Structure 1
Amino acid sequence: MTRLVSVPVLAALSLLLSTACATPNRARDEQVLRELVSAQAEAWNRQDAVAWSRDFTSDAAFINIVGTVFQGHAEIEQRHAAIFASIFKGSQDRVTVRALIFPAPDVAIVDTVHEVTGHTGLPPGVQNTEEGLLRTQMRYVMKRTDGAWRIVAGQNTDVKPAPRPR
């Protein structure tokens, strides 16, 4: 005995399947974004500006620790190559993802805490948070483009040392 499935039932099943396939896999996206942040920290630890800047879009904007804006992938890479060859040569960065939110289906905001040690100097106006430790808060805005997460904007802010008791 054969059974016929009605056209409305087939249409409903098709819609359900297409919706399920289009629904973002947040757990997978979070994993990919955490891996991106981890790979960037590893690149910092090798002082590899090419790898560190790899995930920035060609028109990305990055505001560094002293408020200077780097515009575009090429400038972001160039400026990081300069600091890796000077004050941050030999430094090590340990990164923790503090928050990860998805304000839209293909947009993520990733907040991280960076702990940098082994640096030989700091930019003017920046101080170690603790003896030998520079802690910063980094915020990235990321966008999924052609199936890959890319950084479209970033801002790095240093965490000031705790005030000394009087």
Structure 2
Amino acid sequence: MGERTEGEIRIGELIGRATQAWADNDAAAYAAEFAEDSDYVAFDGTLLRGRKANRELHAGLFDGVLFGTRLEGEIESIRFVTDDIAVVHGTGAVVFAWQREASKGRRSRNTWVLHRTAGGWEVTAFHNTRVRPVPSGGLIVDLFSRYVRWRTDRARAN
């Protein structure tokens, strides 16, 4: 248990460094938390392969549409698959400099896969997706559900 507690502390520190690097708009420091051959899936579905691609994309974003932004969020859970591999689930959002807090539409849920190396923990894979619950009930949902059933029945009949 002590080792896992230590691992949780180190993983929290890694995510803290990544968050600070984002607030500093420092693409190199942000990407440094990721493995050289890491995979990174952004909220829009963009897939980056490797630390270099991560650094290049974020450098452009920090110079442009993400200039002056910071991240807010929290770690929801850390699960150790082995002593050296952990899966972290968290929430996050990009906050613009003029905002006190992130708007609801910017909330994301993310998954981090981390691997412990001789040099410490690093992010092997990261996946970020917007929180967009599927609506339930209401006239629009009911009409769309009927349309889906009608189209499916037609497709199956052919």
Offset at residue 24 of structure 1 (A): 6.9
1:48-73 CA distances to partner (integer Å, 9 max, x unpaired)? 11111111111111111111110011
One-letter code of the match for 2:55?
E
One-letter code of the match for 1:151?
V
Offset at residue 80 of structure 1 (A): 0.9
**1:6: which partner in 2?**
none
| 1:45 matched to 2:13 | no
Identical columns (%) = 26
| 1:140 matched to 2:76 | no
Unpaired runs of 5+ residues, structure 2, are 140-158
Q: Count residues in correspondence.
A: 135
Distance 2:95 2:58 in 1: 16
Unpaired runs of 5+ residues, structure 1, are 1-22, 121-127
When the two structures are superposed, what TM-score results if normalisation uses the length of structure 2?
0.76
The answer to whether the 8 A contact 1:91-1:118 is kept is yes
One-letter code of the match for 1:68?
T
**2:122: which partner in 1?**
150
Choose which of 56, 63, 82 in structure 1 pairs with 2:41: 63
Shift >2 Å, 4+ stretches: 160-163
SS for the counterpart of 2:113 is strand
SS for the counterpart of 2:19 is helix
Distance 1:47 1:110 in 2: 23
Higher helix share: 2
**1:9: which partner in 2?**
none
